Amino acid sequence: MKRISIIGTGFVGLVSAICFAKKGYEVYASTHDQTKVDTINQGLSPFYEKDVAPMIKEAVEKGNLKAVLGREEAVLNSDISMLCVGTPSRPDGSIDLKYIESSAREIGEVLPKKDSYHLVIVRSTVVPGTTRNIVKPAVEASGNKIGEDFGLCMQPEFLREGDAIYDTLNPDRIVIGEYDKKSGDVLEDLYIDFYGKDYLENCPILRMNIESAEMVKYGNNCLLATKISFINEIANICEIIEGVDVTEVAKGVGLDFRINPMFLGAGVGFGGSCFPKDVNAIVAFAKEHDYKPSLLDAVLSINLYQAKHIVEIAKSELGGTLKGSRIAILGLAFKPGTDDMREAPSIKVINHLFEEGVTDIIAYDPYAIENTEKIFGDKIKYVNSVEECLKGANAALLVTDWDEFKALTPEIFIENMQKDSVLVDGRRIYDPKVFGEKLKFKAIGLK
């Protein structure tokens, strides 16, 4: 059984660590944050993600998972290190690789103390060339020889927040970018052992060079983001024509097997820690290399527009101005199932409301209020229920498609909001026929 060290205990790192631990591997989770070490070793999760907390507890209790401070203990006690550190954005949208470089160097500093081959795998999303031009020299800096002392792979991850454990245990493919055959063989063997040959019959392991694997991740996220911006553009065109509904259009288009129905949900646009960051990073990368990626530029600008658009819909319904109105925001997190506010469309929506002179904004979200307070402080009000949020509002903007909101009836809006108020569905969760009959109802992608 292989021993694995996971370098970085963020979302990808910790989820990978507990999945390996669950299957019986000996896992070391390495971080520079003593609080995180203590939290994990007490069997607790440093963040919220479905199923993570009980799995950490189980893994720590069984002795399969140990969080350690720094890299030495982790690397010395493992045969494989997975680099899962953060890759923040710089102000210009490009990727900041300082943690990748420093962690690779730290792994390299430990390797001379080992006498066996060690495989280093980059799991963080990095622009093409990073693994070869930054990680490799950083590991080599302590005198380690690639091919002899260590091997190198890049294996992108495709986990969704909220489904990260499921996605790790049930991938649809495994992409291995390999520096040389030996590196790829060691990683492939790990996954044959982890998933079993039966599972892998329907989950191809794709082996390719390192740069192609790095680019697969960007291709993947850029295409998903493009699907969303595409359907949002179609939604905005649908709004020109009486009676056309983008949800019907998306259904009709999505059933073409060449397209598929996923990620054709029109609305206020995509957020989160991945799509905006990754599209911006590859756009910046392309521009640095003198290519202007006009499609991806458009994907980003349509995405920015959607948050403004929902505010404009409300404004036109309330007679051309929002000044003096009370606006209810239903949903703050960038998607349901998380308290994550990174690049959440709600932030842009609220900022557009400020620009329109709105001073009375009341927000509700089942999980994300604490994180929203860190962004807006007391500039907006926070409440603990849908009813309190809607009370006296002139407009309600539905921004996150939580199940709790899907279950709401038109009566709840009518009973709590002002007379002549409007509900704008920014995620297309309400039936326009049912809601449109009973209250002033507007939705993205429907005139």
Stretch that binds ligand UGA, among 24-32, 37-45, 168-176, 268-276 (CB under 6 A): 268-276
Kindly state whether residue 171 participates in binding ligand UGA, applying the rule CB under 6 A: no
Residue 266: CB minimum distance to ligand UGA, A: 7
Query: Cβ closer to ligand UGA: 78 or 168?
Result: 168
Rounded Cα distance between 65 and 58, Å, is: 9
Site string for ligand UGA, 147-166 (x = CB under 6 A): ----------xxxxx-----
Rounded Cα distance between 130 and 275, Å, is: 19
Q: What share of the chain is helix, strand, coil (3-state, %, to 5)?
A: 45, 15, 40
Rounded Cα distance between 305 and 347, Å, is: 13
Q: Helix 52-62 to helix 11-22 angle, to the nearest 10 degrees? A: 50
- Interface with ligand UGA (CB under 6 A), residue from 13, 265, 366, 426: 265
Query: Cβ closer to ligand UGA: 118 or 428?
Result: 428
Site string for ligand UGA, 279-318 (x = CB under 6 A): ----------------------------------------
Residue 402: CB minimum distance to ligand UGA, A: 11
Residue 338: CB minimum distance to ligand UGA, A: 8
Query: Cβ closer to ligand UGA: 327 or 341?
Result: 341
Rounded Cα distance between 437 and 441, Å, is: 8
Name the β-bridge partners of 89: 95
Query: Cβ(335)–Cβ(402) under 8 Å?
Result: no
Kindly state whether residue 274 participates in binding ligand UGA, applying the rule CB under 6 A: yes
Kindly state whether residue 177 participates in binding ligand UGA, applying the rule CB under 6 A: no
Q: Which residue is nearest to ligand UGA (CB)?
A: 265
Kindly state whether residue 228 participates in binding ligand UGA, applying the rule CB under 6 A: yes
Stretch that binds ligand UGA, among 40-48, 137-145, 271-279, 411-419 (CB under 6 A): 271-279
b/e map 304-333, b = 16+ CB within 10 Å:
ebbbbbbbebbbebbeeebeebbbbbbbbb
Query: Cβ closer to ligand UGA: 134 or 159?
Result: 159
Residue 190: CB minimum distance to ligand UGA, A: 20
- Interface with ligand UGA (CB under 6 A), residue from 271, 366, 426, 445: 271
Angle value at C-alpha 296, between 165 and 238, nearest 5 degrees: 90
Query: Cβ(149)–Cβ(111) under 8 Å?
Result: yes
Residues with catalytic roles: 274
Kindly state whether residue 184 participates in binding ligand UGA, applying the rule CB under 6 A: no
Kindly state whether residue 267 participates in binding ligand UGA, applying the rule CB under 6 A: yes
Stretch that binds ligand UGA, among 47-55, 273-281, 315-323, 360-368 (CB under 6 A): 273-281
Long-range (24+ apart) CB contacts under 8 A made by 290-295 are 295/226
Query: Cβ closer to ligand UGA: 265 or 366?
Result: 265
How many secondary structure helices (H) and strands (E) does the chain include? 20, 14
Residue 234: CB minimum distance to ligand UGA, A: 12
Question: Residues 6 or more apart from 300 whose CB is under 8 A from it?
Answer: 229, 276, 279, 280, 283
Torsion sign across C-alpha atoms 17, 21, 27, 29 = positive
Query: Cβ closer to ligand UGA: 223 or 241?
Result: 223
Q: Helix 34-41 to helix 52-62 angle, to the nearest 10 degrees? A: 80
Query: Cβ closer to ligand UGA: 175 or 186?
Result: 175
Query: Cβ(364)–Cβ(354) under 8 Å?
Result: no
Choose among 273, 426, 399: nearest CA to 336: 399
Residue list 36-95, contact with ligand UGA (CB under 6 A): none
Contacts with ligand UGA: how many residues (CB under 6 A)? 22
Site string for ligand UGA, 331-360 (x = CB under 6 A): ---xx-------------------------
- Interface with ligand UGA (CB under 6 A), residue from 13, 108, 184, 272: 272
Rounded Cα distance between 84 and 13, Å, is: 5
Residue 108: C-alpha distances to residues 117, 119, 211, 251 (Å): 12, 11, 21, 51
Residues in contact with ligand UGA by the rule CB under 6 A: 125, 157-161, 221, 224, 228, 263-265, 267, 269-272, 274-275, 278, 334-335
